[in-house]
Structure 1
Amino acid sequence: MMRRAALALVVALLATGAAAAQDDPAHAASAAARQLERAAASLDAATSARDRVRALTETVQAYEAGLAAMREGMRRVATRETTLSRKLAAREQEISRLIGVLQVIETSAPPVLLVHPSGPMGSARSAMMLADVTPGLNAQAAELRRDVEELRTLRILQANAAEGLKTALAGVQQARAGLSQAVAERTDLPRRFIEDPVRTAILLGSTETLDAFADGLAEMSDTPIPESDADISAQKGHLPLPVQGVILHRARQADAAGVRREGMILATRPRALVTAPVAATIRYRGPLLDLGNVVILEPQRDTLFVLSGLAEVFGEAGEVIPAGSPVGLMGGQTPENGAILSLSGDGTGTDHPETLYIEVRQGGAPVDPETWFQTDKDG
């Protein structure tokens, strides 16, 4: 079980990152810090197996949000450091001249400064010019001092972030392991049916398409499966996506190979947590055709949410799970510190290498998932 001290360290680090970053990353880091604090409190207060699942789910999501916020914040820090370093390097000659002038002013004896070859009038004009120039020199010197001090602060922040990220990455891995165990130990969920493994194996072996498999889901039990009386029509268009990620391809949008699919594809970070967007029955979980590991959720009668491409799947077929329940983890390897702080993948999609396919089926036919899920399609 995770230690509270590890969470506290990440919260403090995120607060430091929030102070150094600007605009959205700062707000995201602050929100992630508060989310981590709430997750720690929920984890400490958890008593039943179901409470542990909820608390660990919240903790994993808090770590994911915190790491994403920190990544963006530290990329801004690195960008700012590069900008300042280049700025100071470009002004190297100007800095040298400025230092030389300031040294002359500081070390020259007053009588020498006051004597001018053209006499008293020349000395007076020189004094006036020097009085005009000195504030400008002082301002440039102050600006340079600020830049140098900011650069020093940014480098200290980067050094501190490396140690904090090490703790955060260990924490999220421990939280995921704890979540897998808590889900396996959960026994208090209601069930609509008990899966018959023989019937399921026959169905898997006799179907060649997702359509055919979805149509045959009722055959997975040796007793009739009760119809669901749930109704989520009021939430249509407002459901959260099941995983943190970015839309790679929308429904029926051709990919690089020209393939068009009925569902959408989300690009996610490695080991991202996938959750149920709404209360639903798990109709199937496991490998399916060439889709990898699949979870099929039934939130209401004649409506299925198909999630494919997971590395691990949680729960059992027939269980009725609450909204936000974990249903699996994406694949890949959690990146190391250097990869998280690196600028090389910024904006290229290389930090979202995993893909989750989401298909929504109503009345036996696929529909655009964006009619159900809240995305940026209209924004």
Structure 2
Amino acid sequence: MRVAIVAESFLPNVNGVTNSVLRVLEHLREEGHEAIVIAPGARDHQEEVPDYLGFPIVRVPTVKVPLIDSLPIGVPNATVYDTLSSFEPDVVHLASPFVLGASGAFASQQLDLPAVALYQADVAGFATKYHLAPLAAAAWDWTRTIHNLCQLTLAPSSLTIAELEDHGINNVHHWGRGVDAERFHPSKRSETLRRTWDPTGTKKVVGFVGRLAPEKGVHRLVSLAHRPDIQLVIVGDGPSMSDLQAELPTAIFTGALGGEDLARAYASLDLFVHAGEFETFCQAIQEAQASGVPTIGPRAGGPVDLIEEGVNGLLLNVSTFSADLPSAVDYLLDDCRHDTLRANARASIENKTWRALCEQLLGYYDQAIVAASTAPRSLLSRAVALPVRAARNFNAKVRELPRRHHRGEGVA
């Protein structure tokens, strides 16, 4: 099978979208398939990788976007259409399509190529969180247009599937995420590392791992910041770091970690907390569970499918998350149940391997190919008119915002 992946984000930027694409590419290589990746180019200070496992990476220019300027946005251009046309894939995989991925969806339809869209980012939710509420409705219009150009949409959680269907997106199926259960393992727990965080050896270590940005809700851990029996550890980097360091003055900020350093950090926690309500899946919760760490998450989005209350963690209401957090922490850290919770956390991911998930994905590719072969073809005018109209509506909403919210800062 020949697979073209149009990724909204990719190396050298590491995030949930990038990680899932890497795992898919690894499986495609193992199974002898061919692939190509179309992705945003690296920023000025980053080193660009030309291929991954021998699969070529075709880059497009990037721009800076205010408020999320740590994440480069790929600029759609003729490269997307030309690459798909010359590669002639059997299926196009759109990883979290919104800007670059949208051009992949339009090009796929114009070239009569089957397309599978993976919904991985709640853009409408982000718009609300970043005080851009007027964009939320337009974001849903745009998302619906993109995804309904594809044969299938894959979503990672039951709540996300329901939300997509409520907004008029068709042919939505479930595709979760695998986890590397060998890399993330309770055996990676390091007493040496724990002593660097807590030289007294008397505190429970509660942590967060992820991008430090407003939508992650890390500020909600403030209710734990001054407890003498708890050491907060924040793993990650991002635009909110300086603000969080001021809000959580007793916390240890490690910066971004990877590889074995990240695995040791996860396993050395006593409890993992993720407070952001905009996660379509929340892979960090799975990685913590694989490391044998009980988890707390919001009763929203992906965490609802990952956390079984009282078994491997707890879910808290978003509106009262910070106020409810201390008592939830006390419950999960109680010596009478903590070891059982740790064992349950690990057990909850035992069957969630990337191999199984990627085999399921190949099955979805086959479904899309069959659906495309039997569907009536749209007239070119209709195929073009729909995205153009949606794009105009979205751009009109952008122009209504105060200039400081949307003015570009130049090409990266």
TM range (shorter): under 0.3
TM-score by length of 2: 0.25
Q: Specify the structure having the higher radius of gyration (Cα).
A: 1
Larger proportion of helix: 1
TM-score by length of 1: 0.27
